[in-house]
């Protein structure tokens, strides 16, 4: 049969299969919140393409109208994509990045790939001349681990193309760009590019920017890069632990701790009580630290800080900074995660009405913020566990998600205030539900029966009470405090 006919049949079958899946629905007692979610869902899905382009399944994750997906944006949009059932899109795009890592690019890959399965011409001339922000490889490593925990898809653990990307990133890439802990503070400002700069050589100054911040120059290292390296080493340690390679997992965990310690020791400004961001090896000092910087967001995005107090200071500074829309799109999730639900609630509406709300990261960030933050849905496929920890604005409100696909299972979750949660398992396998509520309670009720809870703390040290509940196929469980 003709290859093009086969492709057409495959795409048609995929569309039919998707159409048969029950629709993801969010509803709540707050009309504006429903409108925000529905707008985000419609907008995010409008960026998804059907697989007929040469690159295969993809969604837009770059500047609007660029017809491309960028490493940084995909790393940050991918969980939102999973919530919207764009699993095959996520996997295809991440494989494209992973398979294009190469020695000729000093173990970078393509910063942006377009619908034609080519590096976006706006960022790439050849393997000597291309745009690249160094946190990207590390961000993608962490994103792949997060995607495994959300989906349970073992391709993220074992696919040889992805494993090669993880290994090359955390070994050869680190060496090529002098990103070992001992080299970070003395690395040159420019590496692996032709010096002196020439006007006829494109991207000289951008071939390996040591930060996601593109509006500044003259620095050799930024804290967001160090935080991304920490996150990648930590994530890969978790991957190796899941795979049973405990010895190497411990080695990567120890290396991750070196980077985390460097951030919290070297980048912390103990005199002014905030984190510095830009370091210059030429000047031997931190530079431009007089005002809050948007790049400080990545200290908390990558969970790189060692005390709740430092995290709170950093979040407060981020809210004072001049944030672009890409940075703001992280905040619904982060503000819930770091214990500021009122601010998170406000940020959802800020983004909904933002003059640049057509930027794809906005809608995907809002989807993840509402699902993972407001609803507190956090899956951990390695434990076959779905945790819920609601953060509604008041106990008079309610919110629910129906037909959420997570850990290869279809579930319904409803919160009535922050004191009662309902979990329905619509899948064909048993799931473990960790029903959690903020506060220290001496009992939790499951279907009216009293149980003694266990206790946990979130990243800010806030105590929550929980019980683990086995939820069988087609079963409904109700927990309340």
Q: What is the pLDDT of residues 188-231, one digit of tens each?
A: 999 999 888 887 888 989 999 999 999 888 999 999 999 999 99
State how beta strands 431-438 and 48-49 pair: unpaired
Distance CA 319, CA 294 (A): 9
Give yes or no for a contact between 407 and 379, defined as CB atoms under 8 angstroms apart. Answer: yes
pLDDT of residue 20: 64
Render pLDDT for 447-478 as a digit per residue (tens, 0 to 9): 999 999 999 999 999 999 999 999 999 999 99
Average pLDDT of the chain is 94
State pTM to two decimals. 0.94
Render pLDDT for 299-329 as a digit per residue (tens, 0 to 9): 999 999 999 999 999 999 999 999 999 999 9
Distance CA 150, CA 132 (A): 28
> For the chain, what are the domain ranges?
30-373, 385-480
Would the pLDDT of 18 be above 50? no
Would the pLDDT of 9 be above 50? no
The architecture (CATH level 2) of 30-373 comes to: Alpha/alpha barrel (1.50)
Q: Which pair of structure tokens corresponds to residue 299?
A: 């200290």
Distance CA 137, CA 152 (A): 22
CB burial of residue 100 (10 Å; 0-12, 13-18, 19+): middle
- Predicted confidence band at 7 (pLDDT cuts at 50, 70, 90)? very low
Rg of the chain over all Cα atoms, to the nearest angstrom: 22
CATH number of the 385-480 domain:
2.60.40
Label residues 296-313 b or e (16+ Cβ within 10 Å = b): bbbbbbbbbbeebebbbb
Side-chain half-sphere of 172: how many Cα atoms within 13 Å? 14
Would the pLDDT of 5 be above 70? no
State how beta strands 207-209 and 132-133 pair: parallel
- Predicted confidence band at 105 (pLDDT cuts at 50, 70, 90)? very high
The four Cα atoms 403, 43, 79, 162 give a dihedral, to 10 degrees, of 120
Q: Which whole number is the average pLDDT over 419-440?
A: 98
Render pLDDT for 32-60 as a digit per residue (tens, 0 to 9): 999 999 999 999 999 999 999 999 999 99
pLDDT of residue 201: 84
* Eight-class DSSP state of 205: G
Percent of the chain at pLDDT > 70 equals 96
With tokens 């020439």, the residue in question is: 198
């Amino acid at each position: 049969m003709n290859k093009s006919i086969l492709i057409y049949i495959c795409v048609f079958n995929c569309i039919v299969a998707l159409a048969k899946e029950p629709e993801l629905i969010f509803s709540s007692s707050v009309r504006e919140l429903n409108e925000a979610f529905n707008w985000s869902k419609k907008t995010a899905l409008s960026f998804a393409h059907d697989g007929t382009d040469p690159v295969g399944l993809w969604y837009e994750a770059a500047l609007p109208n660029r017809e491309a997906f960028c490493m940084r944006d995909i790393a940050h949009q991918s969980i939102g994509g999973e919530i919207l059932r764009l699993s095959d899109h996520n996997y295809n795009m991440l494989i494209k990045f992973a398979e294009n890592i190469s020695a000729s690019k000093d173990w970078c890959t393509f910063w942006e790939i377009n619908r034609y399965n080519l590096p976006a011409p706006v960022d790439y001339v050849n393997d000597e001349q291309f745009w690249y922000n160094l946190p990207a490889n590390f961000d993608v490593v962490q994103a792949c681990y997060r995607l495994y925990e959300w989906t349970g898809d073992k391709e993220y653990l074992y696919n040889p193309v992805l494993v090669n990307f993880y290994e090359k990133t955390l070994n050869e890439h680190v060496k090529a760009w002098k990103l070992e802990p001992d080299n970070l503070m003395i690395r040159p400002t420019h590496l692996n590019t032709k010096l002196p700069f020439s006007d006829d050589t494109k991207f000289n100054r951008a071939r390996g920017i040591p930060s996601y911040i593109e509006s500044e120059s003259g620095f050799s290292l930024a804290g967001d890069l160090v935080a991304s390296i920490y996150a990648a080493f930590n994530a890969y340690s978790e991957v190796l632990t899941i795979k049973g390679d405990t010895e190497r997992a411990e080695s990567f965990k120890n290396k991750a701790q070196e980077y985390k310690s460097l951030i919290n020791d070297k980048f912390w400004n103990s005199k002014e009580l905030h984190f510095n961001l830009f370091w210059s090896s030429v000047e031997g000092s931190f530079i431009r630290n007089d005002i809050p910087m948007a790049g400080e967001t990545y200290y908390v995005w990558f969970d790189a800080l060692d005390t709740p107090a430092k995290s709170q200071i950093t979040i407060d500074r981020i809210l004072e900074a001049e944030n672009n829309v890409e940075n703001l799109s992280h905040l619904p999730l982060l503000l819930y995660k770091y214990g500021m639900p009122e601010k998170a609630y406000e940020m959802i509406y800020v983004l909904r009405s933002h003059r640049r709300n057509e930027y794809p990261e906005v809608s995907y960030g809002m989807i993840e913020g509402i699902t993972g933050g407001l609803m507190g849905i956090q899956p951990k496929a390695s434990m076959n566990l779905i945790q819920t920890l609601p953060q509604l604005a008041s106990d008079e409100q309610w919110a629910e998600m129906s037909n959420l696909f997570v850990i290869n299972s279809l579930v319904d979750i409803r919160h009535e205030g922050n004191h009662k949660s309902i979990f329905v398992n619509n899948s064909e396998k048993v799931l473990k539900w960790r029903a959690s509520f903020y506060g220290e309670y001496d009992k939790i009720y499951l279907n009216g029966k009293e149980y003694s809870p266990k206790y946990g703390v979130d990243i800010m040290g806030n105590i929550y009470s929980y019980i683990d509940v086995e939820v069988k196929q087609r079963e409904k469980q109700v927990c309340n405090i």
